[in-house]
Amino acid sequence: MVRIKTSHEIELIRESCKIVADVLKLVGTKIQPGVTTLDLDRLAEDYIRSFGGVPAFKGYGHKKLNLFPATLCTSINDVVVHGIPSKRALRDGDIVSVDVGVKKEGFFGDGARTFAVGEISEEKQRLMNATEESLARGIEQAVAGQRIHDISSAVQEHVEAHGFSVVRDLVGHGVGLELHEEPSVPNFGKRGTGIKIQDGMTLAIEPMVNAGSWEVEFGADGWTVKTRDGKPSAHFEHTIAVVDGKPEILTK
């Protein structure tokens, strides 16, 4: 069931989303060679809690014996999503995708961004640019009266026009009262299909884009998802609300 939010609920979601946006901005200022993803994770958790929020990812999961152990997902190079922070230091030439969720006063925000570490290759820069641009193209389609797969198709068309591929096994989603709600928001699809977009929908739109094949592998830790061909991947995400018929970015 798709949950349509009231204007008051959207304001509460906006508060969580502001913390998400601020965390990504803060983390971005610290990313450089030699910094560990565990350092970034501790910084993010302290910041979230200092503003009355709770890390939404920490302790999340469907298997009680393998809940996600960290505040951030930190996914380096060929890791698509759900990378677990560690003592592995970032290196010049890496790209790292940082995904963060925040719960505050019972409402959730979710966002992600891929960062360059030092000097990166031209291919990685093109990949990052195309992914972020595809997110913008997708958000433009989140208009009341259109269909969810209009978002999906816009993302896919932009990505593939640049020679990259969208991951098929992972999708965006509704967000707000729960971290993951209906509807699913794939990054591929046919225009004019899927459920109708309505005012009050809050969606996490999140292109996950691979430099090579769209195929991925799920790691033995139950969380880490990597590209099957070992090529790099990028990930950008915004939480948006449909207000007065148009998309409003809450994690901007």
Q: What is the pLDDT of residues 80-134, one digit of tens each?
A: 999 999 999 999 999 999 999 999 999 999 999 999 999 999 999 999 999 999 9
| Domain enclosing residue 192, as ranges | 7-249
Assigned domain for 83 exists: yes
As a whole number of angstroms, the distance between CA 169 and CA 177 comes to: 24
Check residue 49 and give its pLDDT: 98
| pLDDT tens per residue, range 141-174 | 999 999 999 999 999 999 999 999 999 999 999 9
Encode 133-155: b = buried (16+ Cβ within 10 Å), e = exposed: bbbbbbbebbebebbbbbbbbbb
Residue carrying structure tokens 């990597």: 226
* Region 183-187 average pLDDT: 98
CATH of the domain at 199: 3.90.230.10
Check residue 92 and give its pLDDT: 98
Check residue 123 and give its pLDDT: 98
Nearest alpha carbon to residue 250 among 54, 99, 109: 109
Share of residues in the chain with pLDDT > 70 (%)? 100
CB 157 within 8 A of CB 136: no
Check residue 215 and give its pLDDT: 98
As a whole number of angstroms, the distance between CA 225 and CA 169 comes to: 10
Assigned domain for 2 exists: no
| Rounded (10°) angle between helices 122-140 and 148-161 | 160
**What average pLDDT is seen over the chain?**
98
Assigned domain for 95 exists: yes
Check residue 79 and give its pLDDT: 98
* Region 180-188 average pLDDT: 98
Tokens in use for 219? 């790691």
What domain count does the chain have? 1
Assigned domain for 33 exists: yes
Check residue 80 and give its pLDDT: 98
> Measured between alpha carbons, how far apart are the two ends of the chain, in Å?
27
Assigned domain for 135 exists: yes
Check residue 16 and give its pLDDT: 98
Beta bridge partners of 100: 72, 111
| pLDDT tens per residue, range 46-91 | 999 999 999 999 999 999 999 999 999 999 999 999 999 999 999 9
Assigned domain for 1 exists: no
Assigned domain for 190 exists: yes
Check residue 58 and give its pLDDT: 98
As a whole number of angstroms, the distance between CA 37 and CA 97 comes to: 11
